[in-house]
Amino acid sequence: MRRWAEFMLAHRRLVMVFWLVVAIAGAAVSGPVSERMTTDFALPGEPGGKTAEQITETFGNGGYTAPYLVTVSYPEGRTAAGDQAGVAAAFANIRTEVPNVRILDQANTGDPAFVTKDGRTAYAMVFFQYDTSATAKIPTDDVRRALDTAKPPGTTIGVTGESVLATGSESEGPGVLIEVLIGSIGALAVLAFVFASMLAFLPLIIAAASILATFLLLLPLSELGTFSALVQFLIALIGLGVAIDYSLLVVTRWREERHRGVSNHEAVVIATRTAGHAVVFSGVTVAIGLLALLVLPVPFMRSVGVGGALIPLASVAATLTLTPAILGSVGPRWDWPRIRREDSASRSWSRWAALMVRRRWIAAAVSITALLALVGAFAGIRIGMASSDSLAKSGPAHETLATLERGGVTTGNLTPIEVLTSTGEARSAAAELGTVPGIERALVPGDAASNRAGTTVVVLIPDEETVNSKTVGTVEDVIDRAERTPGVLGVTGTGTAQIDFLNAVYGNFPMMLALIALLTYVLLVRAFRSLLLPLKAVLFNLLSMGATFGMVVVFWQQGIGSEVVFGISETGAVTFWVPLTVFAFLFGLSMDYEVFILARMREEYDASGSTTTAIVRGIGRTGRLVTSAALILFLAFAALASSPGTDLKVMATALGFGILLDATVVRSMLLPSLVSLMGRWNWYLPDWTARILRVEPSRPVAVPPEPDPAARTPVG
């Protein structure tokens, strides 16, 4: 790291020019890269996925895609039964005006249940073609326009469905650029407090360079495969927080050395050798958590893993090259005005660390109890999709759904089950599957749009939405019965998508968890030259993750807080892809702070030989830094939570809460108390392990008895 810093300083002008070119190129390609991203959540190879593909190829619509529910409502005194021809013509016009749709209504199924119990509203199910391009829009406006054009005189029309309700409102949200701007303003406010000088702008420059570099790195990869549209949000907002955190660590250490009287050149070298070393291990740890997603047989999760792993790698690259170059050139001039000095540790954080050492048993017990209480809530998690009640509380889609519900139409119509059958046995299969408990009725449309190539799509309507691991049981019963029913070729729908995901992803989760834990442990053993510290870090990081998911259950699934903060009622479940994405990101991000703190503790222990001194000085030097870094990441996630989609809000709040929990309870209380309890065994690394990892062995040094932390706190 010293040689690296010397090289960066010797070529600092070239380094800055290089990053200027990278930033310009990254800005130029960010748009095209975003346009190549998709919203495809397909699960190829799974039973439901295979049937969904077959239906999509044969009929041009449906599959995993939940349909629209479109309505025609008559005024008081008129009924849909008195104008069946007008209703049928209005729905038929959708087929004429919107390509690749399949419609089920009373006209082609003969089912009178397509009229509400008051007789005033008729509705139809519209299965549409789902364009997975990130820039494509679902055909809601086209469907509404076609229905409005042909509606009977004096009637009102409505369009609802899972995809329409999921936006939460008619607004499309602030967009990625606005969210980044919001996060940047919040980060600048925190950085201004930390540095109280013009240096507050430096981490933002590093973040901008790393975000644009990530898009540039993603360009050739997007030629080789598809990437989820979720990646662009993660690059912009998590990239913002991570890059700022890494740069903040290096700049703070540089400033500390400068305020001690060290020359600018040597201060940059020391900061790169110490803080830069921690940044490398931290970045690799984050990347490991994300690359572990590659073991999952789901394309969009793999794309999140690859795209997400580029974020810490680009941030590390920018931090270890551009930061030394700028500090070596204009750093001293930017450290103005010098309102705050860094030549001594924070007295308040040092006193806090001393308190945690002195009351280590109490601190450990309180923090572990708090974490376990939240882990207990995690045991009640339901995996699935957000219920319709939580998707939208106002707007035309919500009003249309409310009209249907008042008319006795169940919300199971939002998540129908599609059964692909041979045409000759469609009616017998429908009669058999319609008797499965939890199925309200079975529909066999007679038009050409639902009968092609000798196959027919039978549609089953469940009693309630099949949106989570509890209500999806009806779908499992249908699949089980279908396997014994002649003429059935496959079952699909939103419910089968959840079952396929649970089988394909969560069945492989133990392997993913073991891989992440093992690689992280080995990496941290090498970083800290200790067997015990990395083990503690990994185990309690997992405990922190469980507590975070417990908060998600309480806040979102049970709705204790979501209504107050976001105006969204309980979701009833956590969307199936959210826990894994949160885990992959949060495991590495929260480990950042462990690396920052323990790296400084290791340094202080090597200098003093005292565990207590290492804890107090380590926390004293990193406490404000870690708190500020966590706050910056939290603000980035708060910006992400401003997106209109409920799923993104759930993911963003989970990441934000996890970061705050980790920086407060885990790193400020649990870490110092446990390190104090483990004493000199924290620093043990046997010879054989050191030889394998190619580092120096470590043995606890023989020192006088540990000083009483109640005495005067060392702050130097």
Each residue of 601-642: pLDDT tens digit?
999 999 999 999 999 999 999 998 889 988 988 988 888 888
- Could you tell me whether strands 417-422 and 455-462 are parallel, antiparallel, or unpaired per DSSP bridges? antiparallel
Confidence of residue 132 (pLDDT cuts 50, 70, 90): confident
Instruction: Look at residue 702 in the predicted model and tell me its pLDDT.
Output: 56
Which residue do the tokens 């046997």 mark?
686
Q: Is the pLDDT of residue 704 over 60?
A: no
What is the spatial distance between Cα 173 and Cα 605, in angstroms, rounded to a whole number? 50
For the chain, give every domain's residue range.
Answer: 2-37+172-381+551-693, 67-165
What is the spatial distance between Cα 191 and Cα 248, in angstroms, rounded to a whole number? 8
Q: Give the closest residue to 166 by CA, choosing from 568, 550, 560.
A: 568
Contact 476, 456 (CB under 8 A): no
Looking at per-residue pLDDT, the higher value among 131 and 632 belongs to: 632
Opening angle at CA 152, ends 146 and 154, nearest 5: 115
Structure tokens that stand for 514 in this block: 């073991």
* Bridge partners (DSSP) listed for residue 127: 102
Asked if the peptide bond before residue 332 counts as cis, ω within 30 degrees of 0, the response is no
Confidence of residue 167 (pLDDT cuts 50, 70, 90): low
Please give the average per-residue pLDDT across 493-503, as a whole number: 85
Structure tokens that stand for 145 in this block: 């326009």
152: Cβ–Cβ under 8 A, 6 or more apart, which residues? 72, 74, 83, 86, 87, 89, 90
Looking at per-residue pLDDT, the higher value among 549 and 569 belongs to: 549
User: DSSP letters of 70-128?
Assistant: EEEEPPTT--GGGGHHHHHHHHHHHHHHSSS-EEE-HHHH--GGGB-TTSSEEEEEEE-
Instruction: Look at residue 384 in the predicted model and tell me its pLDDT.
Output: 79
Confidence of residue 715 (pLDDT cuts 50, 70, 90): very low
CATH topology of domain 67-165: Alpha-Beta Plaits (3.30.70)
Q: Is the pLDDT of residue 709 over 90?
A: no
What is the spatial distance between Cα 110 and Cα 388, in angstroms, rounded to a whole number? 27
Q: What is the pLDDT of residues 191-243, one digit of tens each?
A: 998 888 899 999 999 999 999 999 999 999 988 888 988 888 888 888 888 99
Please give the average per-residue pLDDT across 23-37, as a whole number: 92
Following CA atoms 59, 498, 424, 428 in sequence, which dihedral angle do they give, to the nearest 10 degrees?
Answer: -140
Instruction: Look at residue 74 in the predicted model and tell me its pLDDT.
Output: 95
Please give the average per-residue pLDDT across 146-175, as a whole number: 79
Residue 37 exposed, middle or buried by CB count within 10 Å (0-12, 13-18, 19+): buried
Q: Is the pLDDT of residue 701 over 70?
A: no
Instruction: Look at residue 703 in the predicted model and tell me its pLDDT.
Output: 52
Q: Give the closest residue to 554 by CA, choosing from 298, 706, 374.
A: 374
Instruction: Look at residue 290 in the predicted model and tell me its pLDDT.
Output: 85
Instruction: Look at residue 708 in the predicted model and tell me its pLDDT.
Output: 52
Confidence of residue 392 (pLDDT cuts 50, 70, 90): low
Confidence of residue 337 (pLDDT cuts 50, 70, 90): confident
User: What pTM was computed for the model?
Assistant: 0.81
Confidence of residue 343 (pLDDT cuts 50, 70, 90): low
Instruction: Look at residue 713 in the predicted model and tell me its pLDDT.
Output: 46
What is the spatial distance between Cα 587 and Cα 539, in angstroms, rounded to a whole number? 11
Instruction: Look at residue 128 in the predicted model and tell me its pLDDT.
Output: 93
Q: Which CATH number fits domain 2-37+172-381+551-693: 3.40.470.10, 3.40.50.1970, 3.40.50.300, 1.20.1640.10?
A: 1.20.1640.10
| Most confident range, picked from 280-284, 455-459, 462-466 | 455-459
Contact 161, 414 (CB under 8 A): yes
What is the spatial distance between Cα 444 and Cα 92, in angstroms, rounded to a whole number? 17
The CA-to-CA distance between both ends of the chain, in Å, stands at 25
What is the spatial distance between Cα 508 and Cα 295, in angstroms, rounded to a whole number? 8
Confidence of residue 322 (pLDDT cuts 50, 70, 90): very high
What is the spatial distance between Cα 299 and Cα 226, in angstroms, rounded to a whole number? 8
Residue 439 CA: distances (Å) to CA of 68, 125, 404: 19, 17, 18
Instruction: Look at residue 360 in the predicted model and tell me its pLDDT.
Output: 95
Contact 548, 586 (CB under 8 A): yes
Residue 492, SS3? strand
Length of the chain: 716
Instruction: Look at residue 707 in the predicted model and tell me its pLDDT.
Output: 53
Structure tokens that stand for 596 in this block: 């920052």
Percent of the chain with pLDDT over 70: 95
Contact 451, 423 (CB under 8 A): yes
- Could you tell me whether strands 455-462 and 451-452 are parallel, antiparallel, or unpaired per DSSP bridges? antiparallel
* Bridge partners (DSSP) listed for residue 383: 574
DSSP state of 670: I
* Secondary structure percentages of the chain, helix, strand, coil, to 5: 65, 10, 25
Phi, psi angles (nearest 5°) of residue 421: -130, 165
Phi, psi angles (nearest 5°) of residue 174: -75, -20
Q: Is the pLDDT of residue 22 over 60?
A: yes
Instruction: Look at residue 390 in the predicted model and tell me its pLDDT.
Output: 67
Range of lowest pLDDT (134-138, 403-407, 598-602, 612-616): 134-138
Longest dimension (CA), the chain: 96
3: Cβ–Cβ under 8 A, 6 or more apart, which residues? none
Mean pLDDT score across all residues of the chain: 88
